[in-house]
Chains A and B, each alone.
Chain A
């Protein structure tokens, strides 16, 4: 099996890289794929928490590259899907503990029996970022409708191109239809016009994300959440399906009312 490696990156922090990685990985596994999530944010690991697997960590990625354990020993099997694994970051080390070369080797090994490898990149453009993109075949950039996030995304696209990772795709996260309509938030067209890359998904702002992150249950598992639906769609697009983009609905009074009484 020759798996595909996808790096999830953004440049700016706090735009939803880890949430996106967890949900895309989970949604890919839902469709029966064998998926390994790699947390490349060494020293500030989070992906394990979002996946609800923190208490199962024994070995981590640094142990693997330093040959303190075998790769399989460090891979944590997800509690929900058999085909989903997490290779956690080390919390007590820093980004220099792994080199891009080691990362590449590791990913080559993983590719042998995975369909997809999803690498969660740290924020920034330094060594951590270089490690994260080292073995990637494909890049997905997460951004939010803020000028600063779009600017950083643009920078990242330039850096990815310099590393030979062409045609990255973008996820626009935390968009609010009501604010876009009022002209208080950048619209999707404005962002795509600047970035000039393919849009792979839009994820609406959803309070459920906070709850799901705190519980360690990716929102992609929740059939009723809009954001969950958005991530499941992204996973299907990654698998090659051609789905139309989700229509953003305004959070109108009526829909809020419906939500309140549990109708939607």
Chain B
């Protein structure tokens, strides 16, 4: 389901790319689901719906417009068909999405590059990134950095207390007796095929 569309951050907004030759039914389903679960995803930014590689009838386009109206406070919605060049293949400025709220139990954020969360990640929430995950808050849910297999990825948080922390194919969890409630920024990364945590 998640692979029907993907997000790409551009300078003034977020592009929603659809997998080539997806059926309208699957697009409709995936976007409605996303709009219902993450209605604040595009708050304050422009949303570009990239229709490149799709053939939609006029009615279907109208229907899609109705669905994207369910996102709250989107700045502007554009339809586009341009081929957006893969910026990250040219240089190392990988893009990031910024989530300006607390992720609560049952909420899930997935992005192919980096994710920055300004808020807490509560137990029961999931964050999955192809790159790094930075949390300006308490990290208590499940995080997976380097989900595509990148072992250089890291996870940093003002309070690193995840239910489970995964980087690439390695899995770690917080020690069962960790109960210090004071904020201490920490970073987790891979060293010698092990997840290590250090204070920052």
Are A152's CB and B105's CB within 8 A?
A: yes
Q: Digit string of B37-48 for contact with A (CB within 8 Å is 1, else 0)? A: 111100000000
Are B120's CB and A162's CB within 8 A?
A: no
Is B36 in the interface zone, CB < 8 Å from A? Answer: yes
Distance to closest chain A CB from B142 (angstroms) = 13
Please give me the residue from chain A that is nearest to B72 by CB atom: A164
Is A158 in the interface zone, CB < 8 Å from B? Answer: yes
Are B122's CB and A194's CB within 8 A?
A: yes
Are A151's CB and B123's CB within 8 A?
A: yes
A154 to B107, CA, bound (A): 10
Is A105 in the interface zone, CB < 8 Å from B? Answer: no
Residues of B within 8 A of A194 (CB): 120, 122-123, 140
List A171-227 residues whose CB lies under 8 Å from chain B. 194, 196
A198 to B139, CA, bound (A): 21
Distance to closest chain B CB from A233 (angstroms) = 27
Are B123's CB and A159's CB within 8 A?
A: no
A159 to B39, CA, bound (A): 10
Residues of A within 8 A of B122 (CB): 154, 194
Chain A residues touching B, range = 10 to 19
Residues of A within 8 A of B37 (CB): 162
Chain B residues touching A, range = 10 to 19
Are B124's CB and A155's CB within 8 A?
A: yes
Q: Digit string of A35-55 for contact with B (CB within 8 Å is 1, else 0)? A: 000000000000000000000
Distance to closest chain A CB from B163 (angstroms) = 11
A38 to B104, CA, bound (A): 28
Residues of A within 8 A of B72 (CB): 164
Is B149 in the interface zone, CB < 8 Å from A? Answer: no
Is B106 in the interface zone, CB < 8 Å from A? Answer: yes
Residues of A within 8 A of B52 (CB): none
Is A161 in the interface zone, CB < 8 Å from B? Answer: yes
Q: Digit string of B92-108 for contact with A (CB within 8 Å is 1, else 0)? A: 00000000001111110
Residues of B within 8 A of A161 (CB): 40, 104
Please give me the residue from chain B that is nearest to A152 by CB atom: B105
A158 to B124, CA, bound (A): 11
Q: Report, nearest first, the 9 A-B pairs whose CB atoms are least far apart.
A: A158-B104, A155-B105, A154-B105, A155-B106, A154-B104, A158-B107, A162-B39, A154-B122, A151-B105
Q: A154-B104, A162-B38, A194-B122 are in contact. List 6 more A-B contacts (CB 8 A).
A: A155-B104, A155-B106, A155-B124, A157-B104, A158-B106, A194-B140
